[in-house]
Structure 1
């Protein structure tokens, strides 16, 4: 059984030029886990709408293409140099990552991850997606460990290419191990500057 589905996102708004046109990006999504950070960008050359057989692989986490055009394809482009092409690809990569992040449904990815942690629940009321995602313990009697939170963050980071700042809290007695009695946590995008006085 195939564990992956391919999600396609149109890239018509990504600026190219007369030499190369970016058509769409194909992102594998693992069922129950969301997208992986590696994708393939489909493109056409010289203003021709004919899609090239080989797409360009891309690392969405790093925001870069991990390969470039073959020498034969570059020759088809005529006057453009390898340096000019690489400059175009770098600029396009920035725009493509931005488009993908706008399309990715981060709360849905997080909810899929939480299926492996049945004692946790996504907090719809207090989350501010995609910048701040909050979760809480559904059953306070359930054993828990703080490492689960950081594992969830790692999986979400891998799926979205975003880095998150983790905070967690709750009520505890003096002799409690706080790593085992927390009741809520938040994942805040590392480039999100808004802060609140009440912590998580």
Structure 2
């Protein structure tokens, strides 16, 4: 029996359409195979989740199933089809943004996207993850001007926190959390700051960098 993973992507950020409410997308990935580009969209009518889902071709961003005539319940066919067309684009964007990193890398050509566009999606998601981690360390901030995401990420001590205590161990905690969240082999590139021979660098550092080891090789292999 084939083993599979079911990816479930929530659609709560979609608006409530008048005739149908989209709840989530379910995508099956079978072990040893590339992820499927077909998903099942679960939906509700009048606040009640329906037993059947609507199939989508996520590589084309279109629904390939619709409601039967006996399921329309007072809405017109034209109204339903317009709703499905409007929702399909937004659902596809949400799925592409939320798929695991390795699926994006492995399948970006089949998404009919060029490498630059996929790279932008990965950059955006990586920065979002890092900023979320940094909320646990209020004296630190992401250094956007000097970073090269997702390969090199730089952080610094906030300007109003230069005299606050800091701990080198925080950097190790951050890189560990980043590896877990992104599933990428981040490591500490460097850390430092202005100091003299009598300073303890572990207490006066003001910046550090995080780097993916063998970034291009990992991107090709995933």
Give TM-score scaled by structure 1 length. Answer: 0.53
Gap change, CA 1:17 and 1:8, over 3 Å in 2:
same
- The structural deviation recorded for 1:54 is 1.1
Query: 1:83 pairs with 64, 67, 78, which one?
Result: 78
Deviations 1:125-164 (A, max 9, x none): xxxxxxxxxxxxxxxxxxxxxxxxxxxxxx5433xx2433
The equivalent of 2:109 in structure 1 is 157
SS of the residue 2:6 aligns to? strand
Gap change, CA 1:162 and 1:104, over 3 Å in 2:
farther
Gap change, CA 1:33 and 1:109, over 3 Å in 2:
farther
- The structural deviation recorded for 1:81 is 1.2
The equivalent of 1:9 in structure 2 is 9
The equivalent of 2:21 in structure 1 is 21
- The structural deviation recorded for 1:4 is 2.3
Distance (whole Å) between structure 2 residues aligned to residue 110 and residue 93 of structure 1: 19
Q: What are the equivalent positions in structure 2 for 1:181-196 lying under 5 Å apart?
A: 187-189=115-117
- The structural deviation recorded for 1:110 is 6.4
Distance (whole Å) between structure 2 residues aligned to residue 35 and residue 70 of structure 1: 29
Structure with the larger helix share: 2
Say whether the 8 Å CA contact 2:22–2:42 is kept in structure 1: yes
Distance (whole Å) between structure 2 residues aligned to residue 20 and residue 110 of structure 1: 29
Task: Count residues with an aligned counterpart.
Answer: 121
Q: Unmatched 5+ residue regions in structure 1?
A: 114-154, 165-186, 193-199
Gap change, CA 1:156 and 1:191, over 3 Å in 2:
closer
Residue 98 of structure 1 pairs with residue 93 of structure 2: yes
Q: What are the equivalent positions in structure 2 for 1:52-71 lying under 5 Å apart?
A: 52-71=50-69
State the Cα RMSD in Å.
2.5
SS of the residue 2:71 aligns to? helix
- The structural deviation recorded for 1:31 is 2.2
Q: Unmatched 5+ residue regions in structure 2?
A: 121-215, 217-222
Structure 1 segments, 4+ long, off by >3 Å, are 187-192
Say whether the 8 Å CA contact 2:6–2:28 is kept in structure 1: yes
